[in-house]
Chains A and B, each alone.
Chain A
Amino acid sequence: MDPNKDNANPTILNPSDLPSRRKGDAISNREDGGTGLFDGLVPTYSYLSDPFDVPPSPTSSEEDSPEAIDEQEIYDLISTISDPEHPLSLGSLAVVNLPDIHITPPTSSRSLISTVTVEITPTITHCSLATVIGLGVRVRLEQALPPRFRVDVRIKKGTHSTDEAVNKQLGDKERVAAALENGTLMGVLRKMLATCE
């Protein structure tokens, strides 16, 4: 036991139990016949340089939607982030979980904005690093997703003693922007994100 860690003995999931499209498991897989539930929900915008704007594979949905992003992809982007105090990924610590990721499509036909909501589950209820973990998730998604996504990262209700205060910080654009100009904090975040491909 390391007394310096908030949670010296966390529960660790077996990597083979983590949700992944690569293993062809039960998660919806649009390449395999169009069961991607969210393919049609995300409109396309040709004028944006969009890192996800890859040409559609020949088997993709008939709507020819080139850049559908689903919950599994969001999960893949953030589950490989390292925990700031354990040499383990947020996925294997069950801090991020596929059922706690939600994508909301644009609210009207003229709006271009989709919202990604990620609820994170800190390993223990008073984990002081919850804010840093949440910030890491938000930064990872803001850097990896096209700008039409608004990223909302929250602490899952009831899993943290100060979840509302943490949520408010994570939702504050100005604070997040200032945090990214803080060298010490960026060092921590860079280390956390180094394990993302």
Chain B
Amino acid sequence: MPLQISHLANFTPPASTRTWQSQPHPTLPLLATASSDKTVRIYSLTSFNLITTLSGGHKRSIRSVAWQPALRKGDAVLATGSFDASAGIWKKHYSGDAVESLNHGIVSTDENDNDEDDDDDDGEYAFTVLLDGHESEIKSLAFAPSSRLLATCSRDKSVWIWEELDDDNWETMAVLSEHDGDVKCVAWHPAEDLLASASYDDTIRLYKEDVDDWEQVAVIQGHKATVWCVTFEGADLPGLKATPSEELSQAQRDFLIQRAASGPRLLSASDDLSIRIWRREPPADDANAARNTGVPSIIRSSNIDETWLEEAQFPGTHTRAVYSASWSTTSGLVVSAGSDGMIVVYKEQWKSGAEEDVGTEWTVVASIEAAHGVFEVNHVVWAKRWDKGRRSEDEEVIVSTGDDGEVKVWTLEEAVGG
């Protein structure tokens, strides 16, 4: 293993009860953490200190959080999904000065705000909308990259898609009831309005809008137990690109062209202890031809269906359920964590061996046990590094969230002697 995972910091103060999930803001140095104490803590990724706590919006545990892709610089719009079956939208706008302060780790806490009450947009996050509709606990939510669509999923077996028609006006766009069990996780494709959901029924399902209706376009079977997590690869397919193309064989170059036609892949983590990667079959030429015949399709066109195939399984490192995995959009590395308390980092590499056997394989490049002591790790995610120790503009850290209430930051280091 050429790398090692080093503990950098804990966010302080932590929650005293189970924390479920943490999400870095897409552009600001903010981290939002969902907690079973019914609050969200927003921490600085620069100083690792608490900035503010969002409370009063939910009656039960907050299970998940998602930041809306910012429409303007300084926008901080957070969606919260709760066991109380509702989702909330919280808003704040950081002025140019406030963004500067955040970037330099100058945390203006709520108390400070009262002292220097000169900037009205340094106030608290406003709870602006309550999205009601699910019958039972919301497990996960995610904003589409286009930013105006929000997907939520629940133990009621359904996935809802909400559309923001204008500011704070959200409308139900679709209710998708394809799963036979709790829907544990939703994730959007980074470039298309394509949604994936993972479930207690052991399947992953994908949905797309066809004319005016959202339809299921694929079912992925293969996991042998609950699928806890799905997430897509970054839009520009990082990772293998790191190899200069002149060092690749013709077959490897062809392989990359084929892969680019498939687009970003899907990563899933499951209670069956496995982590898998799924690849979309590129649309066949005859399907393209059929689409261009000009015949109006009265019934639902079949050509929106997609076929997703299992491309890889990661080396089996985890000994208990894998709750979370995250795919770096910068480095292409994958990190996973779960009930066994381990954090594991994997890298994709070209298969060594025969010229005709072109392909890739995933290997473990770093791992750490007991990341949260004896506690389970519920979530792990890559985040841009913002603190003073940052070594390069695109350096990333790993943020892990555990049953002990702690949220921890980890760096990847070159192993000593490696």
Contacts and interface: CB of A to CB of B under 8 A. Distances in A.
Given A111-B369, A112-B370, A112-B374, A178 B83 contact: yes
A110 B374 CA distance: 11
Interface in A146-177: 146-148, 150, 168, 171-175, 177
Contact of B374 (A148, A171, A177): A148
Contacts, number: 64
A181 B374 contact: no
A54 interface: no
A177 B62 CA distance: 11
Contact of B320 (A150, A168, A174): A150
B139 A174 contact: yes
Interface string B368-395: 0110011110000000000000000000
Contacts of A112: 341, 369-370, 373-374
B189 interface: no
A194 interface: no
A178 B155 contact: yes
A111 B61 contact: no
B60 A181 contact: yes
A172 B375 contact: no
Given A112-B370, A178-B155, A147 B61 contact: no
Interface in A106-160: 107-108, 110-113, 146-148, 150
Contacts of A146: 374
Nearest to B372: A147
B374 A173 contact: no
Interface residues of B, number: 30
Interface string B238-272: 00000000000000000000000000000000010
Q: In the complex, which of the residues A45, A174, A177 has the most CB atoms of chain B within 10 Å of its own CB atom?
A: A174
B137 interface: yes
A150 B155 CA distance: 24
A175 B370 CA distance: 24
B36 interface: yes
B374 A45 contact: yes
B158 interface: no
A174 B139 CA distance: 8
A177 B200 CA distance: 15
Interface string B392-418: 000000000001100000000000000
Given A107-B319, A111-B340, A178-B155, A173 B139 contact: no
Nearest to A50: B374
Contacts of B155: 175, 178
A48 interface: yes
Nearest to B342: A111
A150 B58 CA distance: 29
A110 B200 contact: no
A109 B275 CA distance: 24
A108 B369 contact: yes
Contact of A174 (B184, B341, B369, B370): B184
B33 interface: no
A146 B374 CA distance: 9
Interface in B338-379: 339-341, 369-370, 373-376
Contact of B63 (A110, A111, A174): A174
Contacts of B376: 150, 173
A147 B403 CA distance: 9
Given A110-B369, A112-B341, A177-B18, A48 B63 contact: no
B20 to A, nearest CB: 9
Interface in A81-111: 107-108, 110-111
Interface of A: 45, 47-48, 107-108, 110-113, 146-148, 150, 168, 171-175, 177-178, 181
6 contacts: A112-B373, A146-B374, A148-B374, A150-B339, A177-B36, A178-B61
10 tightest A-B CB contacts, nearest first? A148-B374, A110-B369, A112-B374, A178-B137, A181-B60, A147-B374, A178-B83, A112-B370, A111-B369, A107-B319
Interface of B: 18, 36, 60-61, 63, 83, 136-137, 139, 155, 182, 184, 200, 225-226, 271, 319-321, 339-341, 369-370, 373-376, 403-404
